[in-house]
Amino acid sequence: MIKLYWSPRSRSFSALWLMEESGLPYERVLTDISTGAQKAPDYLKINPMGKVPALADGDAALGEAAAICAYIADRYPETKLAPAVTDPRRGRYLQWLFFSPGCIEPAIIQIFTKIEVPTSTAAWGSATQVFDVLEAALEKGPWILGEEFSAADITIGSGLNFAVRLFKMVPTRPAFDAYIARCMARPAFQRAETIAAG
Ligand SMILES: N[C@@H](CCC(=O)N[C@@H](CS)C(=O)NCC(=O)O)C(=O)O
């Protein structure tokens, strides 16, 4: 059975949300980061970064929340969490799937640390650009690809939920509020929040 290694109140939330959306049977393996469990040698074989979340599925093992989303959506197409590789929407799907770790996360860290980086050097441009681009993409909705919910909504929705709703690091915008509300209305999101609370 798929094993999801997680810790309460952490970035494990997106992987919990993913697994709850997937409908797949899975086992949650508590890896409490407050105890240092994420640095145990056996765990480092699953995620050499010593961070949560991580996933093990048969002989496959991986860390990184967005990679876990990509893996489950592709390995189990019956979950209908990704456009097929031949679908023209696949390109945008991949772009948004990795926009959270590639752009939202560094933008949040930049806001938090106030580090100045030239926009042409910073892989995420600037925090303003990241959130302007995201706002434009979410204006139409209901989901980042339009009518169909996908794993990209899990990475984007978790990033915005974290930055805008929970930690209020990013000033809210009407399109973000509406999108977060749609995410929160999903039963899988609600179950994941309950689990993630510990
Ligand atoms: N890039 C990773 C980040 C994971 C991460 O930062 N996890 C934190 C919890 S929010 C962690 O495990 N921290 C414990 C540690 O570093 O010891 C991902 O997206 O999965």
Where residue 15 sits, what CATH number does that domain have? Answer: 3.40.30.10
Same domain for 98 and 170, yes or no, is: yes
Query: Domain check: are 71 and 163 in the same one?
Result: no
Q: Which domain does 131 fall in, by range?
A: 90-190
pLDDT, residue 94, reads 98
Q: Which one of 38, 44, 51 would you pick to mutate in the ligand 1 pocket, going by the greatest count of ligand atoms within 8 A of its CB?
A: 51
Same domain, 56 and 100: no
Instruction: Quote the number of domains for the chain.
Output: 2
Are the C-beta atoms of residues 27 and 5 closer than 8 Å to each other? no
Distance 53 CA to ligand 1 centre (A): 7
The pLDDT assigned to 35 comes to 97
Domain-located, residue 195: no
At what angle are helices 174-184 and 151-160 packed, to 10 degrees? 120
Out of 80, 115, 139, a domain closes at 80
Pairing of the two strands 2-6 and 26-30: parallel
Could you tell me the CATH number of the domain that includes residue 159?
A: 1.20.1050.10
Residue with the two structure tokens 């650009």? 129
Whose Cα sits closest to atom 13 in ligand 1? 51
Q: What is the pTM of this model?
A: 0.97
| 124 part of a folded domain | yes
Helical spans, DSSP H, in 23-145: 41-46, 65-75, 90-97, 99, 105-113, 127-138
Which atom of ligand 1 is least distant from the CA of 52?
12
Q: Are residues 70 and 135 in the same domain?
A: no
Residue 157 within a domain: yes
Give residue 38's pLDDT: 98
pLDDT at 69: 98
DSSP sequence for 105-137: HHHHHHHHH-----TTTSTT--HHHHHHHHHHH
Please give the number of the atom of ligand 1 that sits closest to the Cα of 39: 17
The residues lining ligand 1, judged by C-beta closer than 6 Å to any ligand atom, are: 10-11, 33, 38, 50-53, 63-65, 101
Which residue carries 């993913």 as its tokens? 18
Provide the pLDDT for residue 101.
96
Ligand 1 centroid from CA 147, angstroms: 31
Enumerate residue ranges in the chain where pLDDT < 50.
none
- CA 51 – ligand 1 centroid, Å: 4
Nearest atom of ligand 1 to the alpha carbon of 33: 14
Site to probe by mutation for ligand 1, drawn from 11, 39, 62 as the one with most ligand atoms within 8 Å of Cβ, is 11
Q: What is the pLDDT of residue 98?
A: 97
